[in-house]
């Protein structure tokens, strides 16, 4: 007897598991760069993080009688959490973050597809506010290991300096004033292209920061891979980065006393985990709007709040908080912003009496 089912009778082979696998593949170059830059300790953090996310998912599955570890979503969550940890973080922190993500943020709301906040981001923010000092202790990357200063992230260093009254300087000015060093490669490339060597280092990943957020280059490559394989579309990353870049250019110089249209663009884009956020966090399927128009509104919101928090907030968590804020607004966006229906004609208004 043949099977009878409703149409369609053919389906794409791109299922959830395969998509998650592609996300993992896209994240790996940046994660491996983190391991190279910060040493085996970083690898241990990544492994602990993935393992605890998986274990948590598995144990909760026992309660439900479901086996959901196979869909690889817990691996993605764990990997993202690991990549969002400082290299020298004590191991219990990624464990707590992963358990918070999987248990509180995902499982209690009904598991995959039901959470209203990106689990990895929520996990990161939770441990950031719980263990602020451990989460803010960074180590210098391999290329700048000799430089003691390089163990602070340049972004927070600049913010502190400007807050402390160092005015009328761009990033390069502030950083060189502070005595930040650059790699020889960045000096060569920077002078050839007439851009700041600090920007080149940030692009390549020779800066202090979380394990997986430092190399803008490899994160962009991973993002392009995801777009090419149609796991995500270009809309959210491009609109997010674009709106943030425009706002930075217009208003970014205000705090340093330079007035409008004096802000820098490239350096802010390559730092602060923005690439990781734009390509891998703000594109999370579950917690972003489902319509194209909704996605664009979402991405504009992310760009705006990232700018606002980074330049005028007192916390260094701009990207995470902006995306979480927009996650919260997602159901509302989805309710009011819908695609235009094919053949939709505006109903003729009845003449009022």
Partner 1 sequence: MLHLSTFRRGGVHPDDRKELSKNSPIEVLPVPHNLVVPMSQHLGAPAQLVKARGDEVRRGELIGQASSFVSANVHSPVRGKIVDVTTVRLANGATCQAAVIQPDEIQGDEFTVRHDWQQESPESLLATIRDMGIVGMGGATFPTHVKLATQGKKVEALVINAVECEPYLTSDYRSMLERADETIEGIRIIAKILSPQKIIIGVEANKLDAAAHLEERLATLKVTGIEIQPLKMKYPQGDEKQLLKATMGREVPSGKLPIDIGAVVCNIGTVYAVWEAVVFHKPLIERVVTVSGEAVATPRNVLCPVGTRTGDLLAFCGGSAEDADRLISGGPMMGFAFADENAPVTKGTSGILALKAENIETGVCVSCGKCVAHCPMGLMPNRMFRNIKYGRYQEALDLGLLDCKECGCCAFICPAHLPLVQGFKLGKKMGRRK
The binding site for partner 1 (CB under 8 A) comprises: 1-12, 14-16, 18-19, 71, 111-113, 233, 285-292, 295, 334, 338-345
- Minimum separation from the CB atom of position 163 to partner 1 (A): 39
Which residues have CB under 8 Å from 352's CB, separation 6+?
none
Q: How far apart are CA 197 and CA 292, in angstroms?
A: 37
Query: Between 19 and 248, whose beta carbon lies closer to partner 1?
Result: 19
Half-sphere exposure of 68 (CA within 13 A, CB side): 22
Query: Between 57 and 172, whose beta carbon lies closer to partner 1?
Result: 57
- Minimum separation from the CB atom of position 25 to partner 1 (A): 16
CB 255 within 8 A of CB 311: yes
- Minimum separation from the CB atom of position 277 to partner 1 (A): 19
- Minimum separation from the CB atom of position 225 to partner 1 (A): 17
Which residues have CB under 8 Å from 87's CB, separation 6+?
34, 38, 39, 41, 42, 45, 138, 139, 210, 211
DSSP 232: S
- Minimum separation from the CB atom of position 274 to partner 1 (A): 23
List b or e across 3-20, with b for residues whose CB sees 16 or more CB atoms inside 10 angstroms: eeeeeeeeeeeeeeeebb
- Minimum separation from the CB atom of position 276 to partner 1 (A): 20
Query: Between 295 and 317, whose beta carbon lies closer to partner 1?
Result: 295
Query: Between 183 and 288, whose beta carbon lies closer to partner 1?
Result: 288
Burial class (CB in 10 A: 0-12, 13-18, 19+), 313: middle
Query: Between 10 and 192, whose beta carbon lies closer to partner 1?
Result: 10
R_g (Cα) of the chain, nearest Å: 22
- Minimum separation from the CB atom of position 61 to partner 1 (A): 13
For residue 282, what are its two tokens? 């703000």
For residue 305, what are its two tokens? 């709040």
- Minimum separation from the CB atom of position 294 to partner 1 (A): 8
Which residues have CB under 8 Å from 342's CB, separation 6+?
none
Q: How far apart are CA 64 and CA 125, in angstroms?
A: 27
Per the listing, tokens 């995470």 go with: 320
- Minimum separation from the CB atom of position 68 to partner 1 (A): 9
Burial class (CB in 10 A: 0-12, 13-18, 19+), 36: middle
């Amino acid at each position: 007897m043949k099977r009878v089912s409703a149409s369609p009778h053919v389906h794409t082979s791109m299922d959830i598991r395969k998509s998650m696998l592609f996300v993992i593949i896209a994240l790996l170059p940046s994660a491996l760069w983190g391991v190279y830059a910060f040493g085996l300790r970083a690898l241990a953090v990544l492994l602990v993080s993935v393992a605890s996310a998986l274990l948590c998912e598995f144990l909760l599955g026992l309660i439900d009688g479901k086996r959901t570890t196979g869909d690889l979503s817990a691996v993605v969550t764990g990997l993202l959490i690991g990549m969002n940890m400082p290299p020298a973080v004590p191991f219990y922190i990624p464990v707590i973050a992963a358990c918070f993500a999987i248990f509180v943020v995902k499982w209690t709301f009904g598991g995959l597809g039901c959470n209203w906040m990106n689990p990895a981001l929520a996990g990161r923010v939770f441990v950031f506010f719980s263990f602020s000092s451990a989460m803010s202790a960074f180590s210098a990357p391999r290329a700048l290991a000799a430089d003691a200063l390089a163990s602070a992230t340049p972004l927070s260093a600049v913010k502190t300096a400007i807050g402390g009254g160092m005015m009328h300087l761009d990033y390069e000015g502030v950083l060189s004033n502070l005595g930040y060093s650059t790699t020889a490669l960045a000096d060569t490339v920077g002078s050839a292209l007439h851009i700041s060597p600090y920007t080149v280092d940030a692009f390549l990943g020779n800066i202090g920061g979380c394990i997986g957020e430092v190399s803008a280059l490899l994160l962009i490559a991973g993002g392009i891979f995801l777009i090419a394989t149609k796991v995500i579309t270009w809309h959210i990353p491009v609109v997010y980065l674009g709106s943030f870049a425009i706002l930075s250019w217009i208003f970014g110089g205000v705090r340093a006393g330079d007035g409008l249209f004096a802000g820098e663009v490239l350096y802010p884009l390559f730092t602060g985990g923005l690439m990781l956020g734009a390509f891998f966090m703000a594109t999370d399927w579950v917690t972003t709007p489902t319509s194209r128009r909704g996605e664009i509104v979402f991405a504009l919101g992310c760009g705006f709040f990232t700018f606002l928090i980074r330049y005028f907030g007192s916390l260094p968590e701009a990207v995470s908080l902006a995306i979480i804020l927009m996650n919260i607004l997602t159901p509302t966006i989805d309710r009011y912003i819908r695609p235009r229906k094919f053949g939709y004609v505006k109903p003729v208004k009845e003449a009022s009496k």
